[in-house]
Amino acid sequence: MEYGSIERELRINATPEVVYEVISSPEHLREWWPDDAELDPVPGATGAVTFGDPASPDAKIEPLTVLEADPPRRFAFRWVYDEGESAAPGNSLLVTFDLVPSGDGTLLRFAETGFRERGWETAVLEEAYLDHVRGWDLFLPRLVTYANRLVTRP
């Protein structure tokens, strides 16, 4: 296995405008991905996502930096980098969401790249990659369910 990138395509029964809000605004992110999110969805903005109870010392807090915010087409950020560093190729992972209108819905193309570029030893690379595969396989279907629910509310 190469552990280079994670890529998924998802069909969502909501417009790209709705899906863009779901993938870029903290109040929507909290509904399907992290337990807490703080970010301003504009290029260059930094923020963080928190997994677990933010008040707990066991909470996992990941800083992130928004790279691209092009509503309703693309949202991209770097994350998984050491605190105190600026996110850059080689020290972080890049997540991109590309939104393509598809009938009355959206085709979401998701990718997370940069695993090999981190320079991790093989065992660490493999564990990080598989951990992220498991994570996205859990969270991306929740994104679809949440976005679909938003547009079917009475």
Bridge partners, 49 (sequence order): 37, 62
Helix (H, G, I), strand (E, B) or coil at 26: helix
3-state secondary structure 69-129: EECCCEEEEEECCCCCCCCCECCEEEEEEEEEEECCEEEEEEEEECCHHHCCCHHHHHHHH
- In which element (H, E) is residue 68 found? strand 60-70
Q: Using CA atoms, how far apart are residues 14 and 101, in angstroms rounded to an integer?
A: 9
Listed in sequence order, the residues at least 6 apart from 86 whose beta carbon sits closer than 8 Å to its beta carbon are 65
Low-confidence ranges of the chain (pLDDT < 50): none
Residue 83: the pLDDT is 81
Residue 154: the pLDDT is 63
Q: Using CA atoms, how far apart are residues 92 and 64, in angstroms rounded to an integer?
A: 9
How many CB atoms neighbour CB 36 within 10 A?
17
Q: Whole-structure pTM over 0.85, yes or no?
A: yes
Q: Using CA atoms, how far apart are residues 111 and 51, in angstroms rounded to an integer?
A: 20
